């Protein structure tokens, strides 16, 4: 009996440490969310399919720590060019700071947070290295709690994946 109680308490502690990782809800389109963490480094993967109006909304994605990078990968049924991604916190602020906008329909793209790359930076396009076109945010982005992922302008029944990397 003590062993079963110990296992149950350990399982509940792990769920609490992960922030209730699987408490998400898809309100628009379809999506599956997977979360994994190891040694304080986490990745949240959202595989999505847009609805007829080109949107996806996933609420209740729990993120804790600092976002280090996001990677967007258009699927085989690629979204429309320049589709947009926003990740909003409980206050409605886009924690991606607009860097999820205008995603490419054919190329995998990334945004690095908290680590400026070398090079000359454009004064007309925020957060983009003019030599490599890599987007970046030079300061850390801290996240804590429930977030909503919103994808818009993706086209009818289009697919893609976004991976959000975090560090505690």
Handedness of CA 105, 109, 114, 119 (dihedral sign): negative
Taking CA atoms, 13 is separated from 9, 24, 147, 152, in Å, by 6, 19, 22, 36
Contact 82, 153 (CB under 8 A): yes
- Specify the pTM: 0.79
Q: How many CB atoms lie within 10 A of CB 73?
A: 17
Full set of structural domains in the chain with CATH: 21-167 (2.60.120)
pLDDT at 147: 97
pLDDT at 139: 78
Q: What is the distance between the alpha carbons of residues 80 and 165, in angstroms, rounded to a whole number? A: 24
pLDDT at 114: 79
Contact 70, 110 (CB under 8 A): yes
As given in the structure block, the two tokens for residue 46 are 């959202």
Which residue stretches of the chain have pLDDT < 70? Answer: 1-22, 115-133
Taking CA atoms, 3 is separated from 13, 15, 32, 101, in Å, by 15, 18, 34, 50
Q: How many CB atoms lie within 10 A of CB 111?
A: 22
């Amino acid at each position: 009996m003590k062993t079963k109680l110990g296992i149950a308490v350990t399982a509940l502690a792990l769920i609490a440490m992960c922030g209730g990782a699987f408490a998400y809800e898809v309100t628009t389109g379809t999506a599956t969310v997977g979360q994994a963490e190891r040694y304080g480094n986490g990745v949240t993967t959202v595989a999505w399919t847009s609805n007829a109006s080109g949107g996806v909304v996933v609420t209740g994605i729990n993120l804790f720590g600092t976002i280090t990078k996001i990677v967007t990968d258009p699927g085989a049924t690629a979204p429309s060019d320049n589709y947009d991604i926003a990740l909003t916190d409980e206050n409605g602020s886009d924690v991606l700071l607009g860097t999820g906008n205008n995603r490419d329909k054919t190329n995998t793209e990334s945004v690095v947070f908290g680590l400026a790359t070398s090079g000359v930076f454009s004064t007309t396009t925020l957060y983009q290295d003019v030599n490599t076109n890599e987007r970046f945010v030079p300061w850390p982005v801290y996240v804590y709690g429930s977030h909503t992922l919103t994808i818009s302008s993706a086209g009818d029944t289009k697919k893609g994946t976004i991976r959000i990397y975090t560090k505690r």
